[in-house]
Amino acid sequence: MKKVLITGAAGFLGSHLCDRFIHEGYEVIGMDNLITGDLKNIEHLFKLKEFEFYHHDVSTFVHVPGDLDYILHFASPASPIDYLKIPIQTLKVSSLGTHNMLGLARAKNARILVASTSEIYGDPNVHPQTEEYWGNVNPVGPRGVYDEAKRFQEAMTMAYQRIHDIETRIVRIFNTYGPRMRLNDGRVLPAFIGQALRGEDITIFGDGSQTRSFCYVDDLVEGIFRLLLSDYDMPVNIGNPDEITIAEFAEEIINLTGTNQSIVYKDLPEGDPAKRRPDITKAREILDWEPKIHRAQGLRLTFEYFKSLSHDELYKKEHKSFDAYFR
Ligand code: UDP
């Protein structure tokens, strides 16, 4: 049985990856410090003998007993609100945390896949974004803590590949959605659906002309699974190229939820990229992958999940305070 370590296991993407690898017959060790993750996302796995959970912060030294075949480094805050609240932890997990994971990969002779992001392209001057584009990132802006940490992560990963000859994979993840997103993490989809369910106004930042391209989580997980098992060791974009303005997206959510809310316009956050769409030629050619789930279907599945949350969860401001973790 192959063994895989997944960091950020209790998060949105990490928990779906745990499910997939268990389903494929792997032994899975999930690791998370639970700052932004939630055990609720993986509690169904605790009864399985193939699953183990370590409550640990990967920014500090990591020890895992025994052999490991694969490491997937997915620990990191990933919403703009989170990295504004916990900028130093955001910087540490993709720099120190990545260094620890690369060291572990080297010690175990394991293949490692690191979760990078479309944020490494910043506010892009090239559209759609190809892997060859180097990006347009402001290091000292509010998003710099995430963008630069992820850029450092890619550089560190390539250095370990070149110097220590370890097997590395880099996935650049574009906006992804689906069940288990945190309702109040500030990202646009849970924000709009939460507002619809609570009967509040929909908040569009700026004039809503900025674009994003949303990928359903199952498609993303399939792409990551293929990339891990492929022979390709340079970065690959995984995302859905179906691009939409945020204003159109708000209309889709209003139609989906059958509500009749007003739209209110708020200031555009500093550094908010004007457009984003992946060029997925590489994923198509190298991994024979492309997204299969149309936004209408993915949004319905996601709405079902949010509708199933309790009244308390719906009205809670945040599922927990970060303060408790940083005394
Ligand atoms: N956004 C919005 N209203 C909200 C939350 C987000 O208009 O209540 C916009 C945000 O300004 C950005 C887009 O939606 O242009 C996507 O934001 P998100 O935080 O989901 O992720 P990003 O792609 O910016 O990292």
Is residue 260 assigned to a domain? yes
Task: Write the DSSP string, 141-162.
Answer: STTHHHHHHHHHHHHHHHHHHH
Distance 82 CA to ligand 1 centre (A): 13
Same domain, 73 and 158: yes
Query: Quick one: pLDDT at residue 260?
Result: 85
**pLDDT per residue as tens digits for the range 185-227:** 999 999 999 999 999 999 999 999 999 999 999 999 999 999 9
Residues 264 and 162 in one domain: no
Check whether residue 138 and residue 153 sit in a common domain. Answer: yes
Q: Would you place residue 146 in the very low, low, confident or very high pLDDT band (cuts 50, 70, 90)?
A: very high
Based on the fold, state whether residues 227 and 270 are members of the same structural domain.
no
Residue 176 pLDDT greater than 50, yes or no: yes
User: What is the pLDDT at residue 252?
Assistant: 96
Report yes or no on 95 lying in a domain. yes
77 and 218 belong to one structural domain: yes
Q: Is the pLDDT of residue 66 over 90?
A: yes
CA of 175 to the centre of ligand 1 (A): 10
Q: Is residue 230 part of a domain?
A: yes
Owning domain of residue 267: 183-213+242-274+294-325
Q: Is residue 71 part of a domain?
A: yes
DSSP string, 164-209: H---EEEEEE--EE-TT--TTS--HHHHHHHHHHHTPPEEEETTS-
Per-residue pLDDT, 318: 64
Q: How confident is the model at residue 319 (pLDDT cuts 50, 70, 90)?
A: very low
How much is the average pLDDT of 300-309?
96
Res 98: pLDDT: 98
- Of the residues 121, 146, 160, 216, only one is catalytic, namely 146
Ligand 1 geometric centre to CA of 187 (Å): 6
Question: Is the domain of 137 the same as that of 43?
Answer: yes
Residues 36 and 129 placed together within one structural domain of the fold: yes
Tell whether 61 is covered by a domain.
yes
Residue 216 is a catalytic residue: no
Nearest CA to ligand 1 atom 17: 188
- Report CA torsion sign: 257, 258, 261, 267: positive
Mean residue pLDDT across the chain: 95
> Percentage of the chain with pLDDT > 90?
92
Domain count, the chain: 2
CATH code, 302: 3.90.25.10
The reply to whether 73 and 128 lie within a common domain is yes
CATH number, position 145 = 3.40.50.720
Strand order in the sheet with 51-55: 51-55, 27-32, 3-7, 70-73, 111-117, 168-173, 236-238
- Asked if 115 and 194 sit in the same domain, the reply is no
Residue 287: inside a domain, yes or no?
A: no
List pocket residues of ligand 1, CB cut-off 6 Å.
Answer: 79-80, 175, 186-188, 191, 203-205, 210, 212, 246, 268-269, 272
Residue 327 has pLDDT above 50, yes or no: no
Ligand 1, atom 11, lies closest to the CA of 205
Q: Do 33 and 79 sit in the same domain of this protein? A: yes
- In a domain? residue 280: no
Asked whether residue 286 is assigned to any structural domain, the reply reads: no
Tell me the mean pLDDT in the region 150-157. Answer: 98
pLDDT digits (tens, 9 = 90+) for 236-289: 999 999 999 999 999 999 999 998 889 999 999 999 999 999 999 999 999 999
Residues 80-94, mean pLDDT to the nearest whole number: 94
Identify the burial level of 171 via C-beta atoms within 10 angstroms of its C-beta, where 0-12 means exposed, 13-18 middle and 19 or more buried.
Answer: buried
For residue 322, pLDDT over 90 is answered with no
Write down the pLDDT at residue 259.
85
| % the chain with pLDDT above 70 | 97
Is residue 192 domain-shared with residue 58, that is, in the same domain? no
Residues 105 and 118 reside in one and the same domain: yes
Confidence of residue 323 (pLDDT cuts 50, 70, 90): low
Q: How confident is the model at residue 177 (pLDDT cuts 50, 70, 90)?
A: very high
Q: Give the predicted TM-score (pTM) of the model.
A: 0.96
